[in-house]
């Protein structure tokens, strides 16, 4: 009797160990699978960027060569240089930066008080305003650009850098308001109350307590505005003729330009996004998570 | 709000009203006499009588001006008679001719469906609409599958998930034009795919993906470019939706022996529905605006989409008709609105059906 039970126990123990080993192996394999998947997806995103980057830093002769090399040899700034020195590009880059900075300033300056009001006060129609803001967020640029171009012509604001900035600010304002509101909501109200108790006015409490704590979040949404404005091409090409922004200028001359110009331009346009997304990656979810509510 | 409302009113006016001209016939040969009738431009008039008057110019001098009593048939088919000034008609001889033609008059605005008709009758309209819808049907499911996979990978707490998040989020900041150029560099005749095919000895000559009779390949290139660029936003929305799902639910599924697929299908996806709905609406609206990708990859002539047509009609260097462009814009607006409402409806009715059960 005793012997049989012993055999059974040792058997089941062996079986147990085998099972344990199997499950651990399955676990490791699954981990490995997830890593493989993660790396595969990363390659899918990164490979095209590497390819266009390698084109941008090859000599124009290599850009036109066939078959192409993936790693530029020799590395040369000639293509990039050619692109930047093409007539109109530097000016368009300058316009792009001015438009994006203006749009960023307008939308941030308007969004901070609006966001604070939505975050801190309960007022009638608050939900209606939230809904309205969201519906504007979904408003197609294409739909707005044509009539706005005509209105701007009537008002004598057509082909001006600042009117395009106004348009971009209006387009990004809704998102900015919601993001800024969520940033303010995350600052504990107790801190503000404490400041009020110690004799601060509301404005001082906002200026000294809430704002410093919310600066990173506000900066993140401002950067997003900058990137959106930098990238926006449809309204830009409709609303400007002589003061084109960079994407509008490149799009306008696209069918008349050669591959080196195109590739260098493509790479030049996507560089800011590489940098800016790095800085705001932490805030992405609080930004877009807002849309779920 | 005014910033959006005013252009919309303007847009309706552009789409539905036409600037026209008509000429008022007067009962007497005086500028502000009562109106005897109205005629359209280019109407032929028969001259019955003429009168020579003096007109004083701003510098104090005078010059002769003729008024004619004319008779014609108006738009309603009735014969009308009245006086017109020489400045509004073309007449060979002021003193001799017995017929004249109306060449100018007063500005008017009239309601018209002409611009709408012009959009529907344009031979590129149906191809633009078809391509836009084809792109939406191809791109959106791919994006959602890819975005959900990305989100699940990020949520599985692997090492370096911060780095992966950054990499997956990079396309958020890439413009459609840049993405179009990037994929053009891959698909063009001397591009990377052909470089690979030829170097690896799979083909002797490059295969021309982008040409008029290779519709399928051009659409493929556009789909890849859009999936590459615009999946990130869906991913971010899905991740923030996933973060809101309590871990207990998923663990409970694990305890009861649900495998990964079952957990995904029966627990995660149903709870993710609100996020997916938001992402779906956002993506569809944005998909109607696909524009620069198409131009960068195909040149925008053979393969065209609604937004591209809007630009073509607006462009002063081409059709120069903001009116038809406004009709296109309104059409895109109606489509986006209709589809958003349809999504909201479809999801809600499913929930109600579930409740009823």
Among B161, B182, B318, most A C-beta atoms within 10 A, so best to mutate, is B182
How much of chain B, in percent, has pLDDT values that exceed 70? Answer: 93
Among B175, B226, B238, B317, most A C-beta atoms within 10 A, so best to mutate, is B175
The average pLDDT across B237-257 equals: 81
Q: What is residue B299's predicted lDDT score, i.e. its pLDDT?
A: 80
Enumerate the residues of chain A whose CB falls inside 8 A of the CB of residue B8: 147
8-state DSSP, B295:
H
Of B291, B299, B329, the CB nearest to A146: B329
Kindly tell me if the per-residue pLDDT of B339 is higher than 60: yes
pLDDT one-digit tens code per residue, A12-25: 677 778 878 887 88
The average pLDDT across B138-149 equals: 93
Reported as a pLDDT band with limits 50, 70 and 90, residue A1 is: very low
Given an 8 Å threshold on Cβ–Cβ distance, is A266 in contact with B336?
no
pLDDT one-digit tens code per residue, A138-189: 666 777 788 888 788 878 777 788 888 888 888 888 878 878 888 888 788 8
Reported as a pLDDT band with limits 50, 70 and 90, residue B351 is: low
Given an 8 Å threshold on Cβ–Cβ distance, is B295 in contact with A52?
no
Given an 8 Å threshold on Cβ–Cβ distance, is A276 in contact with B175?
no
Of A41, A132, A147, the CB nearest to B7: A147
Kindly tell me if the per-residue pLDDT of B228 is higher than 90: yes
Given an 8 Å threshold on Cβ–Cβ distance, is A143 in contact with B170?
no
Enumerate the residues of chain B whose CB falls inside 8 A of the CB of residue A67: 194-196, 198-199
Listed in sequence order, the residues at least 6 apart from A283 whose beta carbon sits closer than 8 Å to its beta carbon are A179, A216, A217, A220, A221
Given an 8 Å threshold on Cβ–Cβ distance, is B173 in contact with A288?
no
Kindly tell me if the per-residue pLDDT of A292 is higher than 50: no
Of B182, B199, B332, the CB nearest to A67: B199
For chain A, the C-alpha Rg in angstroms (whole number) is 28
Calculate the alpha carbon distances from A254 to A80, A266, A276 in Å: 16, 11, 26
8-state DSSP, B100:
E
Question: Which segments of chain B are extended strands (E)?
Answer: 17-26, 35-40, 44-56, 62-73, 79-85, 89-90, 99-102, 106-111
Q: What is residue A262's predicted lDDT score, i.e. its pLDDT?
A: 87
Enumerate the residues of chain B whose CB falls inside 8 A of the CB of residue A146: 11, 14, 310, 314, 322, 325-326, 328-329
The average pLDDT across B54-68 equals: 83
Of A45, A255, A259, the CB nearest to B168: A45
* Rounded-to-integer distance, Cα A199 and Cα B295, Å: 61
The tokens for B318 are 């081409």
Enumerate the residues of chain B whose CB falls inside 8 A of the CB of residue A150: 10, 14, 322, 326
Q: What is residue B357's predicted lDDT score, i.e. its pLDDT?
A: 47
- Tallying the residues shown for chain B, one arrives at 357
Residue A107 has, within 13 A of its CA and on its CB side, a CA count of 34
The average pLDDT across B189-214 equals: 79
Domains of chain B: 21-110 (no CATH), 117-348 (1.10.3720.10)
* Closest chain B residue to A274, measured at CA: B170
Given an 8 Å threshold on Cβ–Cβ distance, is B11 in contact with A146?
yes
By CB atoms closer than 10 A (0-12, 13-18, 19+), residue B240 is buried
Which among A191-195, B132-136, B160-164 has the top mean pLDDT? B132-136
Q: What is residue B2's predicted lDDT score, i.e. its pLDDT?
A: 57
Of A35, A51, A143, the CB nearest to B329: A143
Q: What is residue A139's predicted lDDT score, i.e. its pLDDT?
A: 67
Q: What is residue A127's predicted lDDT score, i.e. its pLDDT?
A: 66
Reported as a pLDDT band with limits 50, 70 and 90, residue A106 is: very high
Q: Please confirm whether the linkage preceding A67 is cis (ω < 30° from 0).
A: yes
Q: What is residue B224's predicted lDDT score, i.e. its pLDDT?
A: 93
CB B295 within 8 A of CB A247: no
Reported as a pLDDT band with limits 50, 70 and 90, residue B146 is: very high
Q: How many other C-beta atoms are found inside a 10 Å radius of the C-beta of residue A75?
A: 10
ipTM of the complex: 0.81
Residue A158 has, within 13 A of its CA and on its CB side, a CA count of 16
* Closest chain B residue to A52, measured at CA: B182
Listed in sequence order, the residues at least 6 apart from B99 whose beta carbon sits closer than 8 Å to its beta carbon are B44, B45, B46, B47, B91
Enumerate the residues of chain B whose CB falls inside 8 A of the CB of residue A289: 237, 240-241, 243-244
Q: What is the three-class DSSP state of B173?
A: helix
The average pLDDT across B299-319 equals: 82
* Rounded-to-integer distance, Cα B172 and Cα A227, Å: 9
Q: What is residue A138's predicted lDDT score, i.e. its pLDDT?
A: 60
CA distance A168 to chain B (A): 12
Kindly tell me if the per-residue pLDDT of A63 is higher than 90: no
Kindly tell me if the per-residue pLDDT of B323 is higher than 90: no
Given an 8 Å threshold on Cβ–Cβ distance, is B158 in contact with A34?
yes
Q: What is the three-class DSSP state of A159?
A: coil
Neighbouring-strand partners of residue B221: none
* Rounded-to-integer distance, Cα B210 and Cα B193, Å: 12
Given an 8 Å threshold on Cβ–Cβ distance, is A151 in contact with B7?
yes
Given an 8 Å threshold on Cβ–Cβ distance, is B167 in contact with A132?
no
* Rounded-to-integer distance, Cα A161 and Cα A248, Å: 13
Given an 8 Å threshold on Cβ–Cβ distance, is A41 in contact with B311?
no
CA distance A223 to chain B (A): 10
* Closest chain B residue to A35, measured at CA: B158
The average pLDDT across B92-117 equals: 79
Tokens 């400045």 belong to which residue? B87
Q: What is residue B147's predicted lDDT score, i.e. its pLDDT?
A: 92
**Helices and strands (H, E) in chain B, number of each type:** 13, 8
The alpha carbon of A15 is separated from its chain's Cα centroid by a whole number of angstroms, namely 53
The average pLDDT across B60-72 equals: 86
CB B105 within 8 A of CB B89: no
pLDDT one-digit tens code per residue, B10-35: 777 777 777 667 788 888 888 778 88
* Rounded-to-integer distance, Cα B157 and Cα B148, Å: 15
Label residue A190 left, alpha or beta by phi (over 0 means left) and psi (-120 to 50 means alpha): alpha
Given an 8 Å threshold on Cβ–Cβ distance, is A142 in contact with B274?
no
The average pLDDT across B48-76 equals: 83
The tokens for A129 are 């305003």
Reported as a pLDDT band with limits 50, 70 and 90, residue A11 is: low
Given an 8 Å threshold on Cβ–Cβ distance, is A45 in contact with B167?
yes
Q: How many other C-beta atoms are found inside a 10 Å radius of the C-beta of residue A61?
A: 11
CB pairs under 8 A between A and B: 234
The average pLDDT across B232-260 equals: 82
Of B172, B311, B340, the CB nearest to A277: B172
Given an 8 Å threshold on Cβ–Cβ distance, is B169 in contact with A277?
yes
Kindly tell me if the per-residue pLDDT of B202 is higher than 60: yes
By CB atoms closer than 10 A (0-12, 13-18, 19+), residue A9 is exposed
* Closest chain A residue to B182, measured at CA: A52
The alpha carbon of B45 is separated from its chain's Cα centroid by a whole number of angstroms, namely 43
Given an 8 Å threshold on Cβ–Cβ distance, is B329 in contact with A145?
yes
CB A213 within 8 A of CB A187: yes
The tokens for B25 are 């016939």
Average pLDDT, whole number, for chain B? Answer: 82
């Amino acid at each position: 009797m005793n012997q049989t039970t012993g055999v059974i126990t040792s058997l089941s123990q062996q079986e147990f160990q085998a099972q344990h080993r199997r499950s651990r192996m399955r676990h490791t394999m699954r981990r490995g699978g997830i890593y493989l998947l993660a790396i595969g997806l990363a390659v899918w995103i990164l490979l095209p960027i590497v390819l266009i980057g390698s084109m941008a830093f090859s000599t124009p002769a290599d850009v036109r060569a066939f078959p192409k090399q993936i790693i530029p040899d020799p590395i040369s700034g000639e293509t990039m240089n050619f692109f930047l020195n093409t007539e109109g590009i530097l000016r368009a880059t300058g316009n792009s930066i001015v438009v994006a900075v203006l749009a960023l300033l307008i939308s941030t300056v308007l969004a901070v008080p609006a966001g604070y009001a939505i975050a801190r006060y309960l007022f009638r129609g608050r939900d209606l305003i939230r809904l309205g803001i969201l519906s504007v967020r979904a408003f197609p640029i294409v739909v707005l650009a044509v009539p706005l171009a005509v209105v701007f012509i009537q008002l004598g604001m057509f082909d001006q850098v600042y009117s395009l900035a106004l348009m971009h600010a209006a387009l990004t304002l809704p998102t900015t308001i919601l993001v800024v509101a969520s940033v303010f909501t995350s600052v504990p109200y107790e801190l503000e109350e404490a400041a009020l108790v110690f004799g601060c006015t509301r404005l001082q409490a906002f200026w000294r307590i809430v704002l410093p704590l919310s600066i990173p979040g506000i900066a993140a949404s401002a950067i997003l505005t900058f990137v959106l404005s930098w990238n926006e091409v449809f309204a830009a090409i409709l609303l400007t003729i002589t003061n084109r922004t960079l994407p509008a200028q490149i799009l306008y001359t696209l069918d008349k330009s050669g591959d080196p110009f195109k590739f260098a331009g493509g790479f030049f346009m996507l560089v800011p996004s590489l940098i800016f997304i790095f800085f705001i990656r932490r805030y992405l979810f609080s930004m877009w998570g807002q849309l779920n509510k | 709000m005014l910033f959006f409302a005013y252009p919309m009113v303007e847009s309706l006016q552009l789409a539905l009203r036409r600037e026209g001209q008509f000429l008022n016939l007067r009962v007497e040969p005086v500028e502000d006499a009562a109106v005897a009738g109205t005629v359209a431009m280019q109407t032929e008039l028969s001259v019955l009588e003429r009168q020579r008057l003096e007109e004083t110019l701003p510098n104090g001098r005078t010059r002769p001006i003729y008024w004619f009593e004319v008779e014609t048939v108006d738009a309603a088919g009735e014969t009308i008679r009245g006086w017109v000034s020489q400045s509004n008609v073309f007449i060979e001889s002021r003193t001799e001719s017995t017929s004249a033609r109306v060449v100018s008059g007063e500005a008017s605005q009239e309601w018209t469906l002409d611009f709408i008709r012009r959009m529907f009758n344009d031979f590129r309209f149906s191809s633009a609409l078809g391509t836009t819808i084809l792109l939406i049907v191809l791109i959106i499911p791919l994006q959602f599958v890819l975005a959900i996979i990305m989100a699940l990978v990020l949520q599985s707490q692997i090492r370096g998930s911060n780095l992966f998040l950054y990499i997956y989020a990079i396309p958020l900041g890439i413009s459609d034009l840049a993405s179009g150029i990037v994929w053009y560099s891959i698909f063009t005749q001397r591009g990377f795919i052909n470089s690979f095919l030829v170097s690896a000895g799979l083909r002797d000559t490059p295969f021309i993906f982008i040409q008029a009779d290779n519709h399928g390949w051009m659409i493929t290139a556009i789909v890849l470019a859009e999936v590459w660029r615009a999946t990130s936003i869906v991913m971010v929305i899905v991740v923030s939706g996933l973060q809101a799902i309590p871990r207990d639910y998923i663990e409970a599924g694990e305890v009861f022996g649900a495998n990964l697929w079952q957990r995904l299908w029966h627990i995660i996806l149903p709870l993710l529905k609100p996020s997916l709905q938001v992402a779906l609406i956002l993506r569809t609206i944005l998909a109607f605006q696909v524009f620069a990708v198409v131009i960068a990859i195909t040149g925008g002539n053979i393969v065209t989409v609604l937004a591209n047509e809007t630009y073509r009609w607006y462009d002063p260097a081409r059709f120069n008709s903001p009116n038809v462009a406004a009709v296109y814009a309104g059409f895109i607006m109606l489509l986006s609105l209709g589809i958003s409402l349809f999504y909201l409806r479809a999801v809600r009715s499913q929930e109600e059906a579930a409740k009823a059960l």
